[in-house]
């Protein structure tokens, strides 16, 4: 019997002929089959979480009375909400659980607890929740005694033996022999989906489109196969890479998103804790810290193409690339070519912040409003409260000396009598006044106070007598002017 290549090494849907059970398949099977036991399946992208769940359901519930819902599908969200509100019973997979709003997750977590405690399974829906790493632990944080009441399983990448079995089953159906299986495993790292894709690409490169009449030896030429795969993926993934790398508002010297993406592509996992990533990589720590609290979320919210391919939880600082094909693409593209394609240009002086705001405590309302509005425009801003957690245990004096002295491209100083008298603003002023001649200091005059080292004829923003609570006024008179200045730098 002849089989088409795409049905043997499948890159879409559930493999029929080359599915191999992971070591903990039977444990997952029992928990899913158990009518009163909620089940959580977690793991990084490409590990076959959804495939395993569907295979179990196919075997345990052949009548098909088990629904599939995904948090990525707008058409499924209504049913997910009904489940969370307790108005929809039945058996359900909820895939991409981590993408649901936190309040919906919390309601489902409470539902999971009730279902596990109740002796009448028919009173609650049977749920299988699928998501990226830490879904189980995050649910436990929502409902602390949930762990002993539900099955939590992690799908690990295939080991060499399982990967070899996937390949062997494909070889049997296609009547071929793939050379250098160790090199295939080294390339795919045990990723189930990537193993399927690589084997398919190897066959395509040697003209194997279906089952061969005579057994055929098929060589594996790594560079050729990798190049073919990346070329195939480029049309799909180049645009989201560029859109994310360029941020919400593109500036040729503003590349923290590009730096983050390149760093994640260099690691083994497609999931990263940005706090850990920043601490482990001092050379990009400033870039990551500047965008991890709020700005990444702003980019994803403003660019649907980015939200489709990237996941970010600003509370846990978990960043993920959920599509295994996309992660493979990122691991092997030419990043310097991407940088040129994005339009970034080299800056002889790398700044961690576009702006640092110097102010007295009496003007904190205005300072915070400026900082918030600049971040909406995707500018990096040093405003002390944004970074208190990053500098715990460190002396502010040392940090301010660096930030106002050379790590911020521009210093925005809110000048008035309070700034003149207060200790910290005076300390900051002594530092940044040395940068006045370089045009790096932008004063916002709030009264008539004069300052040594800051000439009165320096071009700044006259905000005397204006309302610091007026968002429109602050936007027009200060923030948009600062952004325009940044564009010209």
Looking at the fold, whether 458 and 371 belong to one and the same domain comes out as: yes
Residue 456 maps to a domain: yes
Looking at the fold, whether 67 and 125 belong to one and the same domain comes out as: yes
Domain residue limits at 209: 5-9+158-220
Residue 347 maps to a domain: no
Looking at the fold, whether 200 and 301 belong to one and the same domain comes out as: no
Which of residues 166, 201, 220 is at a domain's end?
A: 220
Residue 20 maps to a domain: no
Looking at the fold, whether 453 and 371 belong to one and the same domain comes out as: yes
Q: What is the CATH number of the domain that holds 439?
A: 3.40.50.10140
Which of residues 154, 173, 190 is at a domain's end?
A: 154
Q: What is the CATH number of the domain that holds 38?
A: 3.40.50.300
Looking at the fold, whether 208 and 256 belong to one and the same domain comes out as: no
Looking at the fold, whether 89 and 76 belong to one and the same domain comes out as: yes
- Residue 392's pLDDT is 47
- Residue 133's pLDDT is 62
- Residue 371's pLDDT is 92
Residue 447 maps to a domain: yes
Domain count, the chain: 4
Residue 15 maps to a domain: no
Model's pTM, two decimal places? Answer: 0.75
Looking at the fold, whether 95 and 65 belong to one and the same domain comes out as: yes
Task: Write the secondary structure of the chain as one string of H (helix), E (strand) and C (coil).
Answer: CCCEHHHHCCCCCCCCCCCCCCCCHHHHHHHHHCCCCCEEEECCCCCCHHHHHHHHHHHHCCCCCCEEEECCCHHHHHHHHHHHCCCCCCEEEEECHHHCCHHHHHHHHHHHHHHHHCCCHHHCCEEEEEECCCHHHHHHHHCCCCHHHCEEEECCCCCHHHHHHHHHHHHHHHCEEECCHHHHHHHHCCCHHHHHHHHHHHHHHCCCCECCCCCEEECCCHHHHHHHHHHHHHHHHHHHHHHHHCCCCCCCCCCHHHHHHHHHHCCCCCEEEHHHHHHHCHHHHHHHHHHHCCHHHHHHHHCHHHHHHEEEECCCCEEEECCHHHHHHHHHCCHHHHHHHHCCCCCCCCCCEEEEEECCHHHHHHHHHHHHHHHHCCCCEECHHHCCHHHCCCCHHHHHHHHHHHHEEEEEEEECHHHHHCHHHHHHHHHHHHHHHHCCEEEEECCCCCECCECCCCCCEECCCCCCCCHHHHHHHHHHHHHHHHHHC
Looking at the fold, whether 237 and 297 belong to one and the same domain comes out as: yes
Residue 19 maps to a domain: no
Which of residues 311, 342, 373 is at a domain's end?
A: 342
Looking at the fold, whether 46 and 144 belong to one and the same domain comes out as: yes
- Residue 458's pLDDT is 87
Residue 204 maps to a domain: yes
pLDDT per position in the chain (489 positions), as tens? 899 999 999 988 889 999 999 888 999 999 999 887 888 898 777 678 889 999 999 999 988 789 999 998 889 999 999 999 989 999 999 998 888 888 898 888 888 878 777 767 778 889 999 987 665 556 555 555 666 677 888 887 888 999 999 999 999 999 999 999 999 999 998 888 899 999 999 999 999 999 999 999 999 999 999 999 999 899 999 999 999 999 988 888 778 899 999 999 999 888 899 999 999 998 888 888 888 888 899 899 999 999 989 999 888 899 999 888 899 999 999 999 999 999 988 766 778 889 999 999 999 999 999 999 998 888 888 988 766 555 445 556 778 888 999 989 999 999 999 999 998 889 999 999 999 989 999 999 999 998 877 887 788 999 999 999 999 999 999 999 998 888 776
Looking at the fold, whether 110 and 165 belong to one and the same domain comes out as: no
Looking at the fold, whether 194 and 231 belong to one and the same domain comes out as: no
- Residue 20's pLDDT is 92
Looking at the fold, whether 261 and 205 belong to one and the same domain comes out as: no
Residue 423 maps to a domain: yes
């Amino acid at each position: 019997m002849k089989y088409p290549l795409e049905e043997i090494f499948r890159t879409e849907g559930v493999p029929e002929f080359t599915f191999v059970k992971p070591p903990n398949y039977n444990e997952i099977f029992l928990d899913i089959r158990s009518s009163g036991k909620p089940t959580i399946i977690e793991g990084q992208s490409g590990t076959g979480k959804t495939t395993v769940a569907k295979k179990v359901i196919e075997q345990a519930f052949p009548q098909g009375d088990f629904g599939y819902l995904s948090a990525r599908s707008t058409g499924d969200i209504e049913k997910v909400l009904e489940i969370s509100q307790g108005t929809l019973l039945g058996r359900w997979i909820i895939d991409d659980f981590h993408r649901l709003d936190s309040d919906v997750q919390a309601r489902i977590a409470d539902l999971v607890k009730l279902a596990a405690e109740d002796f009448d399974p028919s009173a609650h829906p049977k749920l299988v929740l699928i998501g990226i790493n830490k879904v189980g632990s995050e649910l436990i944080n929502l409902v602390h005694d949930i762990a002993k009441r539900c099955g939590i399983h992690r799908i690990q990448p295939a080991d060499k033996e399982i990967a070899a079995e996937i390949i062997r089953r494909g070889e049997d159906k296609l009547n071929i022999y793939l050379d250098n299986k160790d090199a295939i495993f080294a390339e795919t790292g045990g990723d189930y989906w990537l193993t399927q894709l690589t084997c398919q690409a190897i066959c395509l490169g040697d003209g194997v489109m279906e089952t061969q009449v005579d057994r055929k030896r098929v060589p594996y030429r790594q560079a050729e196969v990798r190049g073919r795969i990346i070329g195939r993926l480029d049309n799909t993934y180049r645009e989201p890479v560029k859109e994310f790398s360029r941020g919400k508002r593109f500036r040729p010297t503003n590349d923290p998103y590009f730096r983050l993406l390149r760093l994640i592509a260099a690691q083994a996992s497609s999931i990263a804790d940005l706090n850990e990533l920043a601490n482990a990589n001092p050379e990009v720590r400033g870039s990551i810290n500047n965008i991890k609290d709020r700005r990444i979320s702003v980019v994803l919210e403003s660019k649907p193409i980015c939200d489709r391919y990237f996941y970010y939880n600003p509370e846990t600082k978990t960043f993920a690339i959920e599509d295994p094909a996309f992660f493979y693409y990122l691991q092997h593209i030419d990043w310097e070519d991407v940088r040129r394609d994005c339009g970034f240009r080299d800056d002889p002086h790398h700044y961690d912040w576009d702006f640092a705001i110097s102010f007295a405590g009496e003007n904190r309302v205005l300072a915070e409003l400026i900082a918030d509005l600049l971040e909406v425009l995707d500018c990096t801003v040093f405003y002390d409260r944004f970074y208190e957690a990053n500098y715990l245990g460190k002396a502010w004096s040392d940090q301010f000396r660096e930030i106002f002295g050379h790590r911020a491209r521009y210093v925005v100083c809110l000048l008035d009598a309070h700034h003149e008298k207060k200790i910290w603003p005076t300390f900051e002023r002594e530092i940044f006044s040395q940068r006045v001649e370089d045009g790096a200091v932008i004063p916002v005059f709030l009264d008539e106070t004069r300052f040594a080292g800051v000439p009165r004829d320096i071009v700044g923003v006259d905000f005397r007598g204006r309302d610091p609570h007026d968002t429109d006024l602050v936007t027009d008179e200060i923030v948009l002017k600062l952004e325009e200045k940044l564009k010209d730098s």
